[in-house]
């Protein structure tokens, strides 16, 4: 199938100036952007990260792009081009590839990412989609997990929890919000929530050598977490605390910058959920005492 499908793809992929040579040579030639190169890769597999019997394959394709876009946004970077690798079940391989690509091309168009190349295989196994996303950021200014400072404000975008009810297939990568914040404030550290708010925040804290004092009441609980709690018997808070695949961003910055961001035009998409402290770990204040909280989430 490969040659004929590649010919079809070349027709479908819009040519964008960032790709000088795209699909069809031994490798892609990409016009360099200024700054450092940012690269990430994420793979999603039928039966693990989505269920093809229940979801449209275009949604799986969209998700594969969106979770990589979320990683790029979490670096404060701009995505420019993508390499797409599909491992396809032998039966109906071309049809499946076509449907997956509908979602990939939709996301590529929406976020102005060029499909620069990729690979296709058929095998005895479930559909697997691996996307490598390339982007750029001014040298020395990527948002790392390790950049948080003591007394930083800790903010989260959107609302969290219960994404398993369907949102996880069509996450909104926080590309636009990240770009706005980049202009407005100095973000010290960032991570995207793939495995759970508390677990990913714990990773950010560990990388930065700080802890966090939560204002747990302020955690923005998604309506889906409330709905899901009715089914699971767990509390909406527990779902917001530990559910994965929100693909929201956790950001730290000075309190002055946080106040500025919260008052800005994108402020309604941001919530301050605590501040960093010198003592490592996750904490909440009860009266005059700090009580330790356990990070929870999806462990690979």
Instruction: Please state, in angstroms and rounded to a whole number, the distance separating the CA atoms of residues 114 and 118.
Output: 12
Instruction: Please state, in angstroms and rounded to a whole number, the distance separating the CA atoms of residues 232 and 103.
Output: 31
Strands 153-157 and 249-253: antiparallel
For residues 57 and 144, which CB has a smaller minimum distance to a copy of itself in the complex?
A: 144
DSSP helix/strand/coil, 182: helix
For residues 74 and 155, which CB has a smaller minimum distance to a copy of itself in the complex?
A: 74
Instruction: Please state, in angstroms and rounded to a whole number, the distance separating the CA atoms of residues 276 and 224.
Output: 28
What is the smallest separation between the CB atom of 26 and a copy of itself, expressed in angstroms? 4
Tokens of 18: 């960032």
For residues 36 and 277, which CB has a smaller minimum distance to a copy of itself in the complex?
A: 36
Is 243 annotated in some ligand binding site? no
Q: Does 45 bind a copy of itself (CB under 8 A)?
A: yes
Q: Does 52 bind a copy of itself (CB under 8 A)?
A: no
Q: Does 98 bind a copy of itself (CB under 8 A)?
A: no
Q: Does 168 bind a copy of itself (CB under 8 A)?
A: no
What is the smallest separation between the CB atom of 191 and a copy of itself, expressed in angstroms? 6
Question: Which residue is listed with tokens 């990589």?
Answer: 68
Q: Does 25 bind a copy of itself (CB under 8 A)?
A: yes
Contact 22, 10 (CB under 8 A): yes
Tokens of 293: 């909280």
Is 257 annotated in some ligand binding site? no
Contact with a copy of itself (CB under 8 A) among 11, 53, 231, 300: 300
Instruction: Please state, in angstroms and rounded to a whole number, the distance separating the CA atoms of residues 22 and 33.
Output: 16
Strands 114-123 and 78-89: parallel
Is 119 annotated in some ligand binding site? yes
Is 281 annotated in some ligand binding site? no
Contact with a copy of itself (CB under 8 A) among 7, 10, 15, 29: 29
Contact with a copy of itself (CB under 8 A) among 8, 16, 35, 290: 35
Instruction: Please state, in angstroms and rounded to a whole number, the distance separating the CA atoms of residues 89 and 92.
Output: 7
Helix (H), strand (E), coil (C) string for 70-103: HHHHCCCCEEEEEEEEEEEECCCHHHHHHHHHHH
Q: Does 48 bind a copy of itself (CB under 8 A)?
A: yes
Contact with a copy of itself (CB under 8 A) among 9, 13, 23, 28: 28
234 alpha carbon, distance to own chain's centre:
25
Q: Does 16 bind a copy of itself (CB under 8 A)?
A: no
Residues in contact with a copy of itself by CB under 8 A are: 1-3, 20-21, 24-32, 35-43, 45, 47-49, 71-72, 74-75, 77, 81, 83, 85, 87, 116-126, 128, 130, 132-135, 137, 139, 142, 144-146, 190-192, 207, 299-300
Specify binding-site residues for ATP: 101, 118-119, 145, 194
């Amino acid at each position: 199938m490969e040659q004929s499908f590649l010919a079809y793809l070349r027709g479908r992929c819009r040519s964008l100036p960032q790709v000088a040579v795209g699909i069809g040579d031994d490798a892609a030639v990409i016009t360099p952007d200024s700054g450092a190169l940012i690269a990430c890769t994420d793979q999603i597999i039928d039966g693990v990260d989505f269920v093809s019997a229940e979801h449209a394959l275009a949604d799986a394709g969209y998700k594969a792009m969106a979770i990589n876009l979320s990683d790029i946004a979490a670096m404060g970077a701009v995505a420019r081009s993508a390499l797409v690798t599909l491992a396809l079940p032998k039966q109906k391989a071309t049809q499946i590839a076509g449907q997956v690509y509908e979602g990939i091309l939709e996301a590529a168009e929406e976020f102005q990412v060029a499909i620069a190349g990729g690979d296709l295989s058929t095998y005895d196994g479930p559909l697997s989609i691996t996307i490598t996303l390339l982007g750029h950021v001014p040298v020395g200014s990527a948002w790392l997990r390790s950049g948080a400072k003591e007394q930083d404000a800790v903010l989260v975008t959107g609302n969290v929890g219960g994404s398993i009810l369907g949102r996880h297939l069509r996450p909104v990568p926080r590309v636009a919000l990240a770009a706005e914040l980049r202009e407005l404030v100095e973000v010290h550290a960032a991570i995207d929530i793939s495995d759970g708010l508390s677990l990913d925040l714990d990773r950010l804290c560990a990388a930065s050598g700080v802890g966090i004092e939560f204002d747990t009441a302020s955690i923005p609980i998604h309506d889906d977490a409330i709905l899901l709690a009715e089914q699971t018997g767990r509390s909406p808070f527990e779902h917001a605390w530990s559910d994965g695949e929100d693909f929201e961003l956790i950001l730290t910055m000075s309190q002055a910058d946080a106040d500025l961001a919260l008052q800005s035009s994108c402020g309604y998409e941001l919530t301050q959920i605590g501040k960093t402290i010198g003592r490592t770990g996750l904490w909440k204040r009860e009266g005059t005492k700090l009580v330790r909280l356990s990070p929870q989430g999806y462990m690979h």
